[in-house]
Amino acid sequence: MSRKIENLFRAPYSVPNGLQTTDDGLWIVDQITDRVALVELENPLDYYGVPKFIRDIPSDCSNTSGLSYGDGALWLAANGDASLWRPARPHDAAAHMGEILKVDPQTGKTLARYPLPGGGGTHGLEFDRYEADTLWVTTLKEQTLTKMRISDWSIQHVLPLPYTRAHGVVRVADGIWVVHTADRVIVKLDLNDGHELDRIDVPAPHAEPHGLSICADDLIYCDASSGWVAKITL
């Protein structure tokens, strides 16, 4: 379905690959440096057109491709190591292996690490605001969306995904939105069997969808290729 799509501003990092709105502002993570910025969401730009920083923190994540917030923490998706653009660090994920990091939003300290179910890489995750103790994770190897119980890191449910290269995820009351970057489509899936409920096509020349979050009654996404943050009016 066609929706209004508009660019809002360029992210403070060159390769924004995950974002999340919160009551405090908009969190954006950089795939290259693995730093996370909290920027103002209301009136986000200063006099010079630069995003207004509230806070900027480091992280132990690597090749970060996904961001969420819940339980007072940031959740970051490590899509393997980052050897393509920087020397390896001791805390990087293994090459071609995904991890999920729970991170202190004040300091960037890693609070917990979780292996990706089934191995392989990941491009997106979502803390479920409707169901306690629940995190949704995309698994590129299996081409699925996996519902994890955080307390014992056990698989609760698996949904098949309709396209490859799944990225940002947003849980809503009546389903779950998943970005498929290569196909430039965002699909809303049924929570039980994964059948398609709705879709949003994001054709060129619009910014390419990567990370995804809810923004009031609309969606907001980032483009790791161009650096744009854009809004989709639902």
pLDDT tens for each residue of 10-30: 999 999 999 999 999 999 999
Residue 1 has pLDDT above 70, yes or no: no
User: What pLDDT does residue 43 have?
Assistant: 78
Nearest Cα residue to 193 out of 147, 149, 158, 141: 158
- Taking the C-alpha atoms of residue 201 and residue 2, their distance in angstroms, rounded to an integer, is 6
- Taking the C-alpha atoms of residue 193 and residue 224, their distance in angstroms, rounded to an integer, is 30
What tokens appear for 94 in the block?
A: 């293994």
User: What pLDDT does residue 44 have?
Assistant: 74
User: What pLDDT does residue 13 have?
Assistant: 93
57 confidence band (pLDDT: 50, 70, 90)? very high
Least confident of 45-54, 67-76, 81-90: 45-54
Nearest Cα residue to 187 out of 1, 18, 7: 1
Residue 149 has pLDDT above 90, yes or no: yes
Enumerate the domain spans of the chain: 4-233
What is the residue-averaged pLDDT of the chain? Answer: 94
User: What pLDDT does residue 20 have?
Assistant: 98
What is the average pLDDT across 175-183? 98
User: What pLDDT does residue 131 have?
Assistant: 97
Identify the residue whose tokens are 């405090």.
24
Largest pairwise CA distance in the chain? 48
CATH class for the region spanning 4-233 = mainly beta
User: What pLDDT does residue 22 have?
Assistant: 96
What is the average pLDDT across 211-220? 96
- Taking the C-alpha atoms of residue 75 and residue 90, their distance in angstroms, rounded to an integer, is 20
